[in-house]
Structure 1
Amino acid sequence: MSLLLDKVVAITGSSRGIGRATALECAKHGATGLILHYFVPEDEVNTLKTEIEANYPSAKVITIHGDIADPATSTKIVQTGVEGFGRIDVLVSNAGICPFAEFLTMPHATWERTRQVNLDGSFYVVQAVANQMKNQSPQGGSIIGISSISALVGGELQCHYTPTKAGILSLMQSCAVALGKYNIRANAVLPGTIATDINKEDLADEKKRDYMVQRTALGRLGAPDDIAGPVVFLASDLAKYVTGASLLVDGGLFVNLQ
């Protein structure tokens, strides 16, 4: 089933992890336009572009480099995407960082940079794309913010990270209210522990990794494509009456208290 047939999808932080898996899943489900933002070295996004175009010939890919913490990057994403495809149907606001740090000795620069990338960057790109989607009314669109289970629980080395993810959840809830009149839906996906580059060093501790695996009801860590499927659902017309929702995708980690 092609859930995103002929859709144009913009994804921030697309070159690796959840963003990369989401780009591939969107192409698999028929997206014909992919606007792929990246910040890491260009070779990673280029291999993604090559993989998509080789496996999904109907999908056209545009790549855009920039620091999502800079509002100009979001403007560039919209301008370049509209120049290439004429519209944007779906935004996946995914770009984020999590430099694990001890709270009492954390440099203020770590807090600032984490907030700027995760929360400020999400605000900038959501606002920019929402204005484009408003101009497309009554077609509207779907906005998905990648939050985290960390929006709901604490973490000793994440006192700077968890507030940004709670902020993204709140941003999606308020945007659902603010943008519904333009037929724009806004929802949040809350991944649990997903094995990506963002937590590779933390999960290198075998004791902690085993503990996290045991905590999940499904008995395994998540993979990036475990998040991509729920994102495609929220982007598609199957979710046409879903807005302001938060979808926890954690393998049963949150509910497994005992």
Structure 2
Amino acid sequence: MSSTLVVGKVVCITGSSRGIGRACAIEFAKHGATGLVLHYFGDDETTKEIQTLKQEIEGTYSPAKVTTIPGDIADPKTATTIINAGVSAFGRIDVLVSNAGICPFAEFLTMPQATWERTRQVNLDGSFYVTQAAANQMKNQTPQGGSIIGISSISALVGGEYQCHYTPTKAAILSLMQSCAVALGKYNIRANALLPGTIATDINKEDLSDDAKREGMIKRTCLGRLGQPDDLAGPAVFLASDLAKYVTGASLLVDGGLFVNLQ
């Protein structure tokens, strides 16, 4: 069943070939988005994934159309290419979901500098570049405005032994969305953050392959299960829709009750 929550909107999603990004793309199409600007890394695997996603959306959710853009999100040029491609295909950008990210688990004391650099470049620098590019387009288009959604993490609020390079980037994305809300409100641009808890995706597949750790994480959630990518998709559509037209600078924790379940 489809709805009209984001009917006619043009939605740009980074890191959309799998996981949360892919689920968001399908959910936006389901709720009426007519233009989907889907970024992916561009290696053989993500290229195959994005092709199947395009086929699924255009074959199931007419009149939704998809344009796909490969590139390393850590490169500032990629952000410009993504937004330009979206405008060329659909005339405007109404929604940005800045989702692309990596989390190569590493021990802090022996972590190579390259691991820190790459994680920061992809997660934070990439999010900054594409947010800035999208915001400029939203400011200059007619009618002016849009919705920017940064995919942060519960890791913005809590620590992780093997995430000393990752958690700072997610805290920074939360802060970026807060400041962008202040900077961009005058242009009718809203900026909010989604903070997923433990979501079963490729980013943590290896970590969760430890059965004892997986069961421990499940038991820590109030809802008694790990999150699935589509658990983030509904909240993303909400923040992009007019149901959230007075919501900006906010953060929404989507974690099945993991954060509050201390005792």
Q: What TM-score, normalized to structure 2?
A: 0.97
The structural deviation recorded for 1:136 is 1.8
| Post-superposition CA distance 1:58-86 (Å, at most 9, x none) | 00100000000000000001111101100
Q: Does 1:200 align with 2:205?
A: yes
Query: For residue 56 of structure 1, what is the amino acid of its counterpart?
Result: Y
Query: 1:31-42 maps to which residues of 2 (within 5 A)?
Result: 31-39=33-41, 40-41=43-44, 42=47
Distance in 2, matches of 1:75 and 1:138, equals: 21
| Residues in 2 aligned to 1:71 and 1:57: alpha-carbon distance in whole angstroms | 33
The corresponding residue for 1:80 is 85
**Unaligned residue ranges in structure 1 (runs of 5+):** none
CA deviation after TM superposition for structure 1 residue 137, in Å: 5.2
Rounded Cα–Cα distance in structure 1 between residues aligned with 2:200 and 2:98: 19
1:225 aligns to 2:227 (yes or no): no
Structure 2 distance, partners of 1:206, 1:237, is 42
Paired residues for 1:16-165 under 5 Å? 16-39=18-41, 40-41=43-44, 42-136=47-141, 138-165=143-170
Corresponding residue for residue 256 of structure 1: 261
After TM superposition, list the pairs within 5 Å mapping 1:166-181 onto structure 2: 166-181=171-186
Root-mean-square deviation (Å): 0.7
Q: Partners of 1:85 and 1:53 in 2: how far apart? A: 15
Structure-2 change in CA distance of 1:88 and 1:25 (3 Å):
same
> What is the deviation of 1:139?
3.0
Query: 1:142·1:235 contact (CA, 8 Å) conserved in 2?
Result: yes
Check conservation: 1:138, 1:182, Cα contact below 8 A: no
Are the counterparts in 2 of residues 138 and 183 from structure 1 also a CA contact under 8 Å? no
Look up the SS of the partner of 2:93 in the other structure: coil
* TM-score, with structure 1 as normaliser: 0.99
Deviation digits for residues 70-111 of structure 1 (CA, Å, limit 9, x no counterpart): 000000011111011000000000000000000000000000
Q: How many residues align?
A: 258
* 1:15 aligned residue (8, 13, 17): 17
Distance 2:67 2:143 in 1: 25
What is the percent sequence identity of the aligned residues?
Answer: 81
Moved more, 203-212 or 136-145: 136-145
Within 5 A, what are the aligned runs for 1:183-198? 183-198=188-203
Residue 128 of structure 2 aligns to a residue whose secondary structure is helix
Matched ranges for 1:228-247 at <5 A: 228-247=233-252
Change (3 A) 1:86 1:138: closer
For 1:229, give the aligned amino acid.
Answer: G
Residue identity in the other structure for 1:232: V
SS of residue in 2 equivalent to 1:122:
helix
